[in-house]
Structure 1
Amino acid sequence: MKQSLELNKEIFREMVKFYGETLNIPPLAAKIYAYLIFDFEKKGICFDEFVHVFAASKSSVSANINLLLNAKLINDFNTIKERKRFFRINENYINIRFEEIISRMKKEILILDQLNEFRKSKDQEEFQKFEIYRSLLIKNIKNIEETLHKI
């Protein structure tokens, strides 16, 4: 089986490393995800191509595809002409990724507020640092939310 996508190997390696770390996914899942990004026409990649391209076992490929599907990072579909399932990047991945970032920042604000309340410090310098950091989180949340509404 021939590889259907043209890759830039250096960019591919950088993407695998970046998405592995950023999305906290195993190496094979990061490779599959990065490979799908090179499917610019969104035609989809079949399961057998992943097995061939990555020289991985069917069970490993299947487990990592399921991980990506469950994380909603990729979608699967079938064509009328074939029984094979094809996979492509979830077009809403930007929203999913940044909604997770917003959720984490909101959770951090809640934890910081609880910690600040518990501490009951009278130190104005420490309180100002806390407020600056809290304000930065709130501004970033607002900025990301506004940007997502535009996309």
Structure 2
Amino acid sequence: MHKSIEIDEKIFQDAVKFYGSIFGIPPLASKIYAYLLFDYEKVGITFDEFVEVLSASKSSVSTSISLLLNAELIIDHNKMDERRRYFFINEEYKKIRFEKIVKKMQVELKLLDDFNNFKKSKDQEYNERIEAYKALLNKNIENIQESLNKL
């Protein structure tokens, strides 16, 4: 079997390292994700191609694909006339990722308010720093939501 896509080895290695750390995924899952990034034509990559190209066991590839599917980083499709599944980058993940970031910032804002209400600090400098931090969080939430609306 040959590769159905062309990759640049340096970009591939950089992507493996970057996405592995960003998503907190194991090396093989990161390699699968990075490999799919090179599928510009959206032809899809089969399970067998991952096993061959990445020189990994079927069980390891299967586990990594399951992890990526559960994390919504990739999607799969079956073609009408074939039994094989084809895997693709989930184009919606960019939106999903930033929605999760916004949610985490909103949760942090609520926690800051809860702590502040509990503590009732009289330290003006501390209160100013907390308010500046909350303003930063709110501005980032606003910016991200504005950008998400454009996606």
- TM-score normalised by the chain length of structure 1: 0.96
- 1:106 aligns with 106
CA offsets 1:8-33 (integer angstroms, 9 cap, x no match)? 11111111111111111111111101
| Counterparts of 2:15 and 2:100, CA distance in 1 | 20
Which of structure 1's runs of 4+ aligned residues deviate more than 6 A?
none
| Counterparts of 1:16 and 1:125, CA distance in 2 | 43
Alignment of 1:21-40 (within 5 A): 21-40=21-40
- 2:77 aligns with 77
Secondary structure in 1 aligned to 2:76? strand
CA offsets 1:40-97 (integer angstroms, 9 cap, x no match)? 1111000000000111110110011011111111110011232110000111011111
- 2:45 aligns with 45
Q: CA deviation at 1:140?
A: 0.4
The answer to whether residue 113 in structure 2 is matched with residue 117 in structure 1 is no
Any stretches of 5+ residues in structure 2 without a counterpart?
Answer: none
- 2:139 aligns with 139
- The number of residue pairs the alignment matches comes to 151
Percent identity among equivalent residues? 58
- 1:15 aligns with 15
| Counterparts of 2:100 and 2:26, CA distance in 1 | 19
- TM-score normalised by the chain length of structure 2: 0.96
Aligned CA RMSD, in angstroms, stands at: 0.9
| Counterparts of 2:12 and 2:118, CA distance in 1 | 47
| Counterparts of 2:18 and 2:105, CA distance in 1 | 21
| Counterparts of 2:135 and 2:32, CA distance in 1 | 38
